[in-house]
């Protein structure tokens, strides 16, 4: 059992239960004001039940005996995990395999029931071959349908193809991917076919003598013979990326480059130039302090400027952006930001819960709440009539988001890369961008990203040629600076994360990041692994080198 400060305030305990082999079988959260000392007495006195056993007759809804302390019901259980066979409770019609599967299942996870937070349980079943490789999964989805994925491998164990069949209770969508490898086991071709429409080749990769990617080509409709777009990569003598070049977006990185910037010999980037093809009209110069923290990021061409100082705790003390200085006030509260003062950078006060998560965002005026996993549950600004609500499952996967404004209500559903808007599929994420639904067909859009995964140039193929849809530049800490985009539809931008409109923050899964202030809105869940670092810092305060 465990309890963080917020759970202690709410009288809640997180618990895990195990079987006789020490395998995790049940996780959950129970509301009980029993103290830690009293729990120790209760658990130490429980000497008759040492572990959980399978009980497929299901006397309590879990498929296990569920007799080990704490005493909980099904409603308290978040995840229930089954091993060794497929005879567990709930594995009934609709989950049978379509593949030839193995009977060698000892020690293998065969099923998981995961709760939609504050909702129903969803079942997923996994099937294996004799080598222990997953060959099929069947999962419930929160729209009332199922997702079935078939996987096939070659003799070397490399994944050859996947076929996903997705249903939402009404319609069925299929997505097939196929992969080709060279003699070294490196991926060279990726193909995709949606709803058996003939398919395309998404990408082709070529490698240099050291096995580093040398060229990537995108979008082929003739089985990989010709492609519409291509990017070339080059490296320095240490194997560090030196340049990425294409007619649409190019950049060069300098590390120990003398002249324009201060040379760095530890892998830090001292200069970045970008543009298109062989033209690099834009340039960032970076400066660092003795602890490798970014202190300046000043660009020419596209004008962007940030300079920073830090306090003794490693938190940002001042941030000057384009000549406007914001002074960060911590008011003796350790690492918790109280407010920022200074012109257009100024904010109101921030407030936090017992776990160190922002509950009142001083910059945007939004109030935030969190679920049992510590993930954002609501983000509301009543004064503006704007309300965001999020639904996750117990594994931490976001399932849906509802945004209510005075003008309209938008419901987004997320199903493993298939994105719904107001009940209809809007797009399917691909390995190189996304496929936008257009009538009964899908139109492929591609993203060109920099070395940090920041999307810089989005395009589709129009009348046989590359057509720019959206362009973006970013300040060092991720604040977006659009470049005359044709459309603003792509919200997956900085580090490839989804921008939350109205908030101006990025959802990284475990917590939100605000690029305007260069800080997370919640503490790092793995803070204890780095106790000497502030739990709110982003990218070790060196965001041009780390993500």
Residue 243 lies in a domain: no
φ and ψ of 378, to 5 deg: -140, 150
Q: Does residue 187 contact residue 202 with C-beta atoms inside 8 Å?
A: no
Q: How far apart are CA 475 and CA 286, in angstroms?
A: 12
Residue 404 lies in a domain: yes
* pLDDT per residue as tens digits for the range 414-452: 999 999 999 999 999 999 999 999 999 999 999 999 999
Q: Enumerate the β-bridge partners of residue 529.
A: none
Q: Which helix (H) or strand (E) holds 38?
A: helix 36-45
Q: How far apart are CA 179 and CA 158, in angstroms?
A: 9
Mean pLDDT of 106-134: 97
* pLDDT per residue as tens digits for the range 491-508: 999 999 999 999 999 999
Checking if the pLDDT of 487 tops 90, the result is no
Task: Tell me the three state secondary structure of residue 257.
Answer: coil
* pLDDT per residue as tens digits for the range 288-323: 999 999 999 999 999 999 999 999 999 999 999 999
Q: How far apart are CA 197 and CA 257, in angstroms?
A: 49
472 Cα distance to chain centroid: 20
Q: How far apart are CA 140 and CA 146, in angstroms?
A: 4
Q: Which helix (H) or strand (E) holds 42?
A: helix 36-45
Non-local (6+) Cβ contacts of 135 within 8 A are 99, 100, 101, 127, 128, 129, 150, 151, 152, 153
At which residue do the structure tokens 């990425």 appear? 244
How many other C-beta atoms are found inside a 10 Å radius of the C-beta of residue 144? 10
Pull the structure tokens for residue 233: 């990569």
Residue 221 lies in a domain: no
Pull the structure tokens for residue 112: 């998981």
Residue 34 lies in a domain: no
Strands 480-482 and 498-500: unpaired
Q: Does residue 197 contact residue 204 with C-beta atoms inside 8 Å?
A: no
pLDDT score recorded for residue 262? 83
pLDDT score recorded for residue 484? 66
Give the pLDDT band of residue 60 (cuts 50, 70, 90).
Answer: confident
Q: How far apart are CA 170 and CA 186, in angstroms?
A: 39
Q: How many residues does the chain have?
A: 547
* pLDDT per residue as tens digits for the range 151-182: 999 999 999 999 999 999 899 999 999 999 99
Q: How far apart are CA 194 and CA 427, in angstroms?
A: 11
* pLDDT per residue as tens digits for the range 322-374: 999 999 999 887 999 999 999 899 999 999 999 999 999 999 999 999 999 99
Q: Does the pTM exceed 0.85?
A: yes
Whole-Å CA distances, 235 to 208, 243, 265, 343: 10, 7, 15, 43
Q: Does residue 203 contact residue 216 with C-beta atoms inside 8 Å?
A: yes
How many domains does the structure of the chain reveal? 1
Pull the structure tokens for residue 429: 């994420």
Q: How far apart are CA 450 and CA 428, in angstroms?
A: 22
Q: Which domain holds residue 407?
A: 348-415
Mean pLDDT of 527-545: 92
Query: What does pLDDT average to over the chain?
Result: 95
Q: Does residue 194 contact residue 435 with C-beta atoms inside 8 Å?
A: yes
Lowest-confidence pick of 37-51, 209-223, 437-451? 37-51
pLDDT score recorded for residue 525? 85
At which residue do the structure tokens 């990025």 appear? 506
pLDDT score recorded for residue 258? 67
Non-local (6+) Cβ contacts of 163 within 8 A are 149, 150, 174, 175, 176
Checking if the pLDDT of 483 tops 80, the result is no
Residue 274 lies in a domain: no
Q: How far apart are CA 77 and CA 391, in angstroms?
A: 17
Which long-range contacts link 49-52 to residues 24+ away (Cβ below 8 Å)?
50/20, 51/18, 51/19, 51/20, 52/17, 52/18, 52/19, 52/25, 52/26
Residue 410 lies in a domain: yes
Give the single-character DSSP code of 477: T
Task: Tell me the three state secondary structure of residue 159.
Answer: strand
Mean pLDDT of 39-48: 89
Q: How far apart are CA 98 and CA 503, in angstroms?
A: 44
* pLDDT per residue as tens digits for the range 388-405: 999 999 999 999 999 999
φ and ψ of 20, to 5 deg: -65, -15
pLDDT score recorded for residue 332? 84
Pull the structure tokens for residue 332: 């003796």
Residue 470 lies in a domain: no
Non-local (6+) Cβ contacts of 500 within 8 A are 379, 388, 506, 507, 512
Residue 429 lies in a domain: no
Q: Enumerate the β-bridge partners of residue 206.
A: 215
Pull the structure tokens for residue 81: 């995990």
Q: Does residue 485 contact residue 522 with C-beta atoms inside 8 Å?
A: no
Give the pLDDT band of residue 59 (cuts 50, 70, 90).
Answer: low
């Amino acid at each position: 059992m465990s309890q963080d400060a917020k759970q202690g305030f709410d009288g809640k305990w997180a618990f895990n239960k195990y079987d006789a082999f020490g395998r995790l079988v049940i996780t959950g959260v129970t509301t009980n004001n029993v103290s830690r000392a009293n729990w120790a007495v209760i658990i130490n006195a429980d000497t008759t039940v040492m572990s959980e056993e399978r009980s497929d007759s299901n006397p309590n809804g879990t498929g296990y005996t569920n007799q080990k302390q704490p005493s909980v019901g099904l409603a308290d259980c978040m995840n229930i995990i089954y091993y060794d066979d497929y005879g567990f409770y709930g594995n009934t019609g609709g989950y049978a395999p379509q593949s030839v599967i193995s009977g060698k299942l000892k020690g293998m996870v065969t099923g998981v029931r995961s709760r939609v937070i504050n909702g129903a349980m969803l079942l997923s079943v996994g099937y294996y071959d004799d080598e222990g490789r997953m060959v099929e999964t069947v999962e419930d989805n929160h729209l009332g349908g199922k997702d079935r994925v078939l996987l096939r491998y070659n003799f070397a164990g490399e994944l050859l193809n996947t076929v996903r069949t997705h249903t939402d209770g009404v319609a069925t969508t299929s997505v097939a991917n196929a992969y080709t490898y060279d003699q070294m086991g490196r991926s060279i071709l990726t193909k995709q076919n949606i709803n058996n429409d003939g398919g395309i080749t998404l990408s082709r990769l070529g490698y240099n003598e050291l096995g580093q990617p040398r060229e990537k080509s995108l979008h082929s409709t003739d089985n990989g013979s010709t492609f519409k777009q291509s990017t070339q990569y080059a490296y320095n003598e240490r194997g560090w990326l030196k340049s990425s070049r294409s007619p649409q977006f190019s950049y060069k990185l300098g590390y120990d480059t003398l002249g324009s910037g201060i040379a760095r010999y530890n892998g830090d980037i001292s200069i970045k130039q970008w543009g298109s093809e062989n033209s690099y009209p834009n340039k960032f110069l970076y400066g660092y302090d003795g602890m490798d923290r970014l202190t300046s990021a000043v660009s020419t061409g596209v004008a962007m400027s940030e300079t920073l100082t830090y306090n003794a705790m490693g938190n940002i003390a001042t941030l000057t952006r384009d000549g406007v200085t914001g002074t960060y006030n911590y008011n003796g509260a350790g690492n918790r930001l109280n407010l920022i003062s200074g012109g257009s950078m100024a904010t109101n006060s921030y407030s936090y819960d017992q776990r160190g998560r922002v509950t009142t965002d001083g910059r945007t005026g939004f109030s935030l709440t969190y679920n049992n996993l510590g993930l954002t549950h609501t983000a509301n600004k009543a004064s503006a009539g704007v309300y965001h609500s999020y639904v996750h499952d117990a594994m931490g996967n976001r399932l849906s988001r509802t945004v209510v404004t005075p003008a309209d209500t938008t419901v987004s559903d997320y199903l493993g890369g298939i994105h719904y808007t107001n009940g209809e599929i809007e797009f399917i994420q691909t390995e190189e961008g996304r496929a936008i639904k257009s009538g009964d067909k899908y139109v492929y859009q591609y993203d060109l990203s920099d070395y940090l995964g920041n999307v810089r140039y989005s395009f589709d193929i129009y009348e046989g040629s590359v057509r720019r849809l959206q362009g973006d530049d970013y300040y060092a800490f991720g604040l977006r600076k659009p470049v005359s985009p044709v459309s603003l539809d792509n919200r997956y931008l900085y580090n490839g994360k989804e921008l939350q409109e109205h908030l101006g923050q990025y959802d990284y899964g475990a917590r939100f990041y605000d690029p305007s202030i260069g800080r997370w809105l919640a503490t790092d869940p793995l803070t204890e692994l780095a106790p000497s670092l502030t739990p709110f810092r982003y990218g070790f305060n060196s965001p041009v080198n780390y993500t």
